[in-house]
Structure 1
């Protein structure tokens, strides 16, 4: 028996960006290929870090330490997509991001996929983990 998923509280997400489906993203089953989801989530993560924190990846970079994706419903060519992103944990040099791909068809929104990623802050010269700069740390987690 599959456990029932608890829907996430969308009010906890303050960042969202639109995603564009390319015709080449569609596979023989007439939906977006599962491998393309990684690209969608990566694009949204990069925008989140840049637009929310002003993160300069040429000085302190970020690399993916771990990522998991849940495929909830297939994405089709006519879906209007957005991706919500939020930080759920801050460590010394790592942080966790939760992301949702949503479809904006019709009157409501539907969650199509969920991603959890552990990001690691790295020094771009040595490529070794480095503490998350305070200027970014203060912008990653919501105040309150």
Structure 2
């Protein structure tokens, strides 16, 4: 079980809905992205110019539909830290857990466009914020 020290409220917009009145499945990835960017801003102090990374993997598991009137929260944690990548786990909640997700980000050198080491400063901050990281 993942402990989540970080949460971000997400507004469900009318444009997020499909013809049945549920949030379209593809929008869940955007919700995760929104929570991921907030986490990186608030925990690592990064700006849009400081995000030299790509999402190398995304896995989403849907449990319940989300509707326009739902209060949605994304819980986020970094659960694994590699040499040039790190994994983030998400729980999207509207009263109950409505979806879970996992992304793997790879840090990329802006000049060479090749994977590069996760910066030492990021590692230190992540380990402070996420005690379960070793």
TM-score (structure 2 length as normaliser): 0.90
1:37 to 22, 28, 36: 28
1:50 alignment partner, SS class = helix
2:109 aligned with 1:118, yes or no?
no
Q: Residues 47-91 of structure 1: CA distance to partner in whole angstroms, max 9, x if unpaired?
A: 111111113453451210000000010001110011010011000
Cα shift at 1:139 = 1.9
Note the residue ranges of structure 2 that are not aligned, 5 or more in a row: none
Give the Cα separation in 2 of the matches to 1:67 and 1:16. Answer: 19
SS at match of 1:74: coil
Specify whether residues 37 and 13 from structure 1 end up closer, same or farther in structure 2 by C-alpha distance, changes over 3 A only: same
Please, what is the CA RMSD of the aligned residues? 1.5
Instruction: With the length of structure 1 as denominator, give the TM-score of the two structures.
Output: 0.84
- In terms of mean alpha carbon deviation, does 63-72 or 131-140 score higher? 131-140
Aligned to 1:128: 114
Provide the rounded CA distance (Å) in 2 between the counterparts of 1:116 and 1:82.
16
Distance in 2, Cα, partners of 1:38 & 1:13: 18
